[in-house]
Amino acid sequence: MWPLRELAARLEASERTVRRDIETLRGLDYSIETVHGPDGGYQLGAGNTLPPLLFDHDQALAVAVALQTAPSTMFGLGDDASRALATLHQVMPPALRASMKSLRLTRLRNYWEFPGPPIDPAALTAVGTAVRHRRVLVAETLRPDGTRPEPGDSDFLPAYQIEPHHLVVWAARWYLVAYDRTESQWRVLRVDRLRPRPTTRDFPARELPADDLAQFVMSTHDRGDTPAEWPCTGSAQLDLRADVVARWAPGGSVVEHLDAEHSRLTLGAWSWAGIAGILATFDAEMTEVRPPELREACRRLTQRWAKIAAG
């Protein structure tokens, strides 16, 4: 039996926080009994035990780093990650607690990074649960303009049935590798542009489209991407297959399939010269370079590189 005041003192938290955490545990199906009266308090119900946290020093540091960097891979996790870290601090032994508190990160964003798109937690939960239990999903996706309408609006494409197999996170975006029952083909879907509806129908295991699912996602050009916001955005037609360009294109770019040997890459950077430099890394012939500012940047870089080569 633990009186509320004693629990709060042991956990170095307010009584209000302890009450809230107790309700959280009850919501997770832990049986916690409340005994009223002067000698009352809280006790764990019969047949229930809380699993011990048996972290070593390196594991504690790994958890601290993961929770402080989690918001960079999924939008909206900042508050939840901070509360989770504070909860772990309360239950850690003093030595490990000191190690975790000593690792306070100030994470700076560089110019190549862009924030992850917002994902509805309910949608992510539905997709993750369906992947785990092999349940068919009825899915709708946003139209190519990427707008996010209210449920029921016509901006969602017609629903189709998918078998969700695996989640992949790349460049702050969450992708779902799924088998489209409607079109009888494998697809890569952006979770933030997906409106899933769970079903109770199971599906059997299939042979995956590739041994390396990460490479499969990166080399799929029609994965529903839209250009990330940059000060400058341009495009060019490359004499390369779309899957090759998609494999090496930076996050936040869009690859269009034109034919078996050509594709169009749309991408952004902080300057026109930055876009031109990225295009040069593909070492392929290019046409239809747009807009004029990008062509001018290519001309300036050509002159600069010519001087370097001559010198």
Choose the most confident range, by mean pLDDT, from 40-49, 51-60, 181-190.
Answer: 181-190
**Position with higher pLDDT, 137 vs 38:** 137
User: pLDDT per residue over 1-13, tens digit each?
Assistant: 788 888 888 888 8
pLDDT category, 43, cuts 50, 70, 90? Answer: confident
pLDDT at 243: 87
Look at residue 210 and tell me if it is in a domain: yes
pLDDT at 8: 87
Q: What is the CATH number of the domain that holds 36?
A: 1.10.10
pLDDT at 300: 96
Look at residue 103 and tell me if it is in a domain: yes
Last residue of a domain, one of 191, 218, 245: 218
Which residues form the domain of 294? 232-310
Choose the most confident range, by mean pLDDT, from 7-11, 101-105, 141-145, 257-261.
Answer: 257-261
257 in the same domain as 193? no
What angle do the packed helices 272-280 and 292-310 form, to 10 degrees?
A: 60
pLDDT category, 71, cuts 50, 70, 90? Answer: low
pLDDT at 52: 64
Q: Please state the pTM of the whole predicted model.
A: 0.66
Look at residue 122 and tell me if it is in a domain: no
Tell me the C-alpha distance between 311 and 309, whole Å. 6
Last residue of a domain, one of 31, 51, 71: 51
pLDDT at 196: 94
201 in the same domain as 160? yes
Last residue of a domain, one of 34, 51, 68: 51
**Position with higher pLDDT, 298 vs 155:** 298
Please give the tally of structural domains in the chain.
4
Of the given ranges (4-13, 55-64, 126-135), which has the lowest mean pLDDT? 55-64
Tell me the C-alpha distance between 200 and 298, whole Å. 55
Look at residue 193 and tell me if it is in a domain: yes
Task: Quote the mean pLDDT of the chain.
Answer: 84
Which CA distances in Å does 114 have to 230, 250, 269? Answer: 9, 11, 11
Look at residue 27 and tell me if it is in a domain: yes
**First vs last Cα of the chain: how many Å apart?**
82
Which CA distances in Å does 168 have to 48, 74, 198, 219? Answer: 35, 12, 20, 13
196 in the same domain as 248? no
pLDDT category, 74, cuts 50, 70, 90? Answer: low
User: Which residues make beta-bridge pairs with 197?
Assistant: 138
pLDDT(273) > 90 = yes
pLDDT(149) > 70 = no
By the 8 A CB rule, do 206 and 182 touch?
A: no
203 in the same domain as 154? yes
Look at residue 171 and tell me if it is in a domain: yes
pLDDT(46) > 90 = no
